[in-house]
Structure 1
């Protein structure tokens, strides 16, 4: 069934992207003829970044790769995308300032975002301070999305999502990020009870001035990310790294277990699992972990839209 979904996605993406790519010149011509003030104002709410993603697996075999990426940093109050709204993000992160979303926009009918980040700021007088981040992780090819709040200075989160058929659900994600300016970085490492600190992923990027149309800047960017994911999954299979089935086939309670592991990780006293009481993302299950120091960790799971974003 998973292979069938993947095949359908590849075929659908190929023909849709080919058709829309052929129509791009007409789109540029129409935009040039009918440019508007609204389009200019919308562009002011977006900052563009260009950089690299680096992955390194150290056990049970060594495997690493790097690929170039392009991201958009969107101010959600002015340009709400198909993700959390700015108000929802503020409620989840318990902040009162602006919210920015770092993501790869759709390109010719396709979206692929293994990781999107919300930067949630607090206003302190005339200044703003990055207080919390919300990670939005989407797996491939299952089309699931998990979101959680973390401290950007440094945080440890129990793994909430099956992101790779070559990684089990055990272990924690050590994650940190800076406040985007001229440069940005995100670093995630996996701390496993048996394999130790065996996997690291980083994103480093710099702000760039856009001197071409946005559609050209991001043309086939999501497709390139997908190709890298599947190509290196094939390499791991070739290196005989054990294949692990999605836990939903063997353990339907894996999400609740992730909450329990995060509870133990932060010496928490209680877990709440109430979709009606708390902020609920449409089509999702939401879970909360309450810590002794009053902190609340918010998790939400839902299906990503098709094609998976």
Structure 2
């Protein structure tokens, strides 16, 4: 990503893919769009368009920070990380017409000189819970982390993730793979191409993907029912609070 004091907000029409290999092979594809924003310079849309893109601190981390930036910094502080005011670039779904669901929000965090410090991957499940992982990617953008959070009802809370998370530029190209002993049961991908976040571009995407985050949430549930009907066993869900509230 080109260094600079800010990054102009971008829109990424994208295809999200889920490939399940074990014990049942199952593939799904979903088209939606995501925002790439500078956490200190969130988009300011014309008033009539504001219901189509809301970025609210209550939708992330503990939900009680006054700003999204402060919510992130509180999380980092519990892990001994201080960005010293450095830039944070965030890939996320915005709240659309009062509703938001963010399976994965990513924060590329930099120091004051623009040097990458870390990546935070915030995962939300369909039970209203969320959990954040602190990652230290290598030069290829690859990080490994133990799984600590119940996401799919068909996978237990064990194994580890291999996440390939290069910072987006003109292209968005992310991969998250779950590795378990003797198996790689699940891989998720996100692929997209950047568009400038103009009002006209946003309107086109909203018309193409109305209620976009609600459609993502409904799609996850629909495919879950299909897998259950095909005989995939449901794993018990442990109780969970967000990482921040347990510290």
Asked if structure 2 preserves the Cα contact closer than 8 Å seen for 1:49 and 1:205, the reply is yes
Structure-1 residue corresponding to 2:166: 178
Distance, in Å, in 2 between the alignment partners of 1:67 and 1:200 is 14
TM norm structure 2: 0.76
1:49 aligns with 2:35: no
Q: Which has the larger radius of gyration?
A: 1
Structure-2 residue corresponding to 1:232: 223
Distance, in Å, in 1 between the alignment partners of 2:109 and 2:18 is 26
1:81 aligns with 2:56: yes
4+ residue stretches of structure 1 with deviation over 6 A? none
Asked if structure 1 preserves the Cα contact closer than 8 Å seen for 2:13 and 2:205, the reply is no
Query: How far 1:122 sits from its partner (Å)?
Result: 2.7
Structure-1 residue corresponding to 2:131: 146
Asked if structure 2 preserves the Cα contact closer than 8 Å seen for 1:178 and 1:185, the reply is yes
Distance, in Å, in 1 between the alignment partners of 2:123 and 2:9 is 21
Distance, in Å, in 2 between the alignment partners of 1:189 and 1:59 is 13
Describe how 1:117-156 pairs up with structure 2 within 5 A: 117-124=106-113, 128-140=114-126, 142-152=127-137, 153-156=141-144
Q: Counting helix residues as a fraction of each chain, which structure ranks higher?
A: 1
TM norm structure 1: 0.61
Query: How far 1:87 sits from its partner (Å)?
Result: 4.8
Q: Deviations over 1:72-99 (max 9, x none)?
A: 1121112373236335535714434210
Query: How far 1:237 sits from its partner (Å)?
Result: 0.5
Q: Which 10-residue stretch deviates more, 79-88 or 103-112?
A: 79-88
Q: Deviations over 1:228-263 (max 9, x none)?
A: 101110111111011112023xxxxx88xxxxxxxx
Distance, in Å, in 2 between the alignment partners of 1:50 and 1:130 is 26
May I ask how many residue pairs the two structures share in their alignment?
207
Q: Secondary structure at the match of 1:212?
A: helix
Structure-1 residue corresponding to 2:101: 112
Query: Which structure has the higher relative contact order (CA within 8 Å, separation 6+)?
Result: 2
Asked if structure 2 preserves the Cα contact closer than 8 Å seen for 1:107 and 1:215, the reply is no
- Unpaired runs of 5+ residues, structure 1, are 1-43, 249-253, 256-279, 287-309
Distance, in Å, in 2 between the alignment partners of 1:148 and 1:220 is 28
Structure-1 residue corresponding to 2:188: 201
Structure-2 residue corresponding to 1:24: none
Supply the RMSD in Å over aligned alpha carbons. 2.3
Residue of 175, 189, 205 corresponding to 1:217: 205
Distance, in Å, in 1 between the alignment partners of 2:116 and 2:193 is 18
